[in-house]
Amino acid sequence: MTPETVLAVGQKALELTAMLAAPLLLSALAVGLLIGMFQAATQINEMTLSFIPKLITLAVAMAVAGPWMLRLIMNFTQQLISNIPYLIGT
């Protein structure tokens, strides 16, 4: 296994991680921004106000993007397992 192969597999894994995290992080960011603007406009400084909407948003995002995320990670794992003979050099 060459260093280039290790770097290529690691790069693909990091790209996959970013793709899997993006829908959840972006939805939580959007809801947090909206709630922050609401809190700034109404001067309500309750820290727990954003928790429930973010939790609901993450659950919805996971339900919507979950099958796509599962398909991505399954394809990556299947490719990685099927390429084991080529990766170890036999």
pLDDT tens-digit readout, 33-42: 999 999 889 8
Tell me which amino acid residue 80 is.
L
Dihedrals phi, psi of 43, to nearest 5 degrees: 60, 35
Tell me which amino acid residue 77 is.
T
Q: Is the pLDDT of residue 10 over 70?
A: yes
What's the chain's length in residues? 90
Q: Is the pLDDT of residue 88 over 60?
A: yes
Q: Place 27 in a pLDDT band, splitting at 50, 70 and 90.
A: very high
Q: Is the pLDDT of residue 90 over 60?
A: no
67 to 7, 14, 76: CA distances (angstroms): 28, 20, 14
